[in-house]
Amino acid sequence: MSEATIDTVNFTRMREAMVASQLRTNAVSDPRVVSAMARVPREDFLPENQRTLAYRDTAVPIAHGRAANLPIATGKLLTQAQVRATDHVLLIGAAGGYAAAVLALLARDVVAVESDPALATLARTALSAYSNVELIEADLATGAPKQAPYDLLVVDGAVEHLPQALIDQVQPGGRVVTGIEDRGVTRLAAGVRSAGGFGLTTFADVDCVSLPGFTRPKTFTF
């Protein structure tokens, strides 16, 4: 058995262990999400020197202070999102492209936004086989307004503040799932945009990587 074959077998076993011990035991209960995460080789979406860490239940450093989100955080976000096969999805924080690949198996198409040039290059290569994913290198807080409106917004990381510019790219009735960071504590939250407004409700306390560019605006005080 060649070294490459051994590596493939080992990664497959680690992926199966992730599904069994991290996802199924932690309320990642949508069978489509579980199946997609069991199929996508997470190691392909990490820098080569970090691939052995692909299935750890912790954040994996990838570049310039960024880290790949924890599998359990991504899995819970996508479970809560109730992704539909007809969904046009905006993904913020593509990183190496893993969440975009999982979404590509669940939705009609995905517009994935990444601001870091090195990560965008990694993601573009790793996602080359996913014809229904468009990768855009842009500021995360800006999103991809030209491709709006979206049925679903997924922020694969934690933000202090979700900008109105992103919410406006979701059509009325569209769903939003994101991580929220408040004084060093991260939670997962979800909401539905309506004609009358938008709000988020937290649904899980889960470790989640922080995304740059989403600092809460400072309020003016005398």
- Within 13 A of 185's CA, how many CA atoms are on the CB side? 7
Lookup result for tokens 């669940």? 106
Q: What Å distances lie between residue 33 and 78, 101, 105, 117, 167, CA to CA?
A: 7, 11, 9, 28, 24
High-pLDDT (> 70) share of the chain, %? 93
pLDDT at 2 exceeding the cut of 70: no
User: 217 pLDDT exceeds 60?
Assistant: yes
| pLDDT at res. 190 | 98
Q: Does 179 score more than 80 pLDDT?
A: yes
| 146 torsion bin: left (phi>0), alpha (psi -120 to 50), beta (else) | alpha
Q: In one letter, which amino acid is 152?
A: L
Backbone angles phi, psi at 103, to 5 degrees: -60, -35
**Average pLDDT, stretch 42-64?**
93
Confidence of residue 22 (pLDDT cuts 50, 70, 90): confident
Domains of the chain: 3-205 (3.40.50.150)
Q: What is the average pLDDT value for the chain, to the nearest integer?
A: 91
Mean pLDDT of 174-191: 95
Q: Does residue 81 carry a pLDDT above 90?
A: yes
For 179-218, give one letter per residue: b (16+ CB within 10 A) or e: bbbeeeebbbbbbebeeeebebeebbebbbbbbbebeeee
pLDDT at residue 216 tops 60: yes
What local confidence, expressed as pLDDT, does residue 9 receive?
61
Give the confidence band of 7 by pLDDT, cuts at 50, 70, 90.
low
Whole-number pLDDT of residue 36: 96
pTM of the model: 0.92
Residue 1's pLDDT band, with cuts at 50, 70 and 90, is very low
Please give the pLDDT value at position 218: 65
Residue 6 has pLDDT above 70, yes or no: no
Q: Do strands 88-92 and 150-159 pair parallel, antiparallel, or not at all (unpaired)?
A: parallel
What's the mean pLDDT in 23-45? Answer: 89
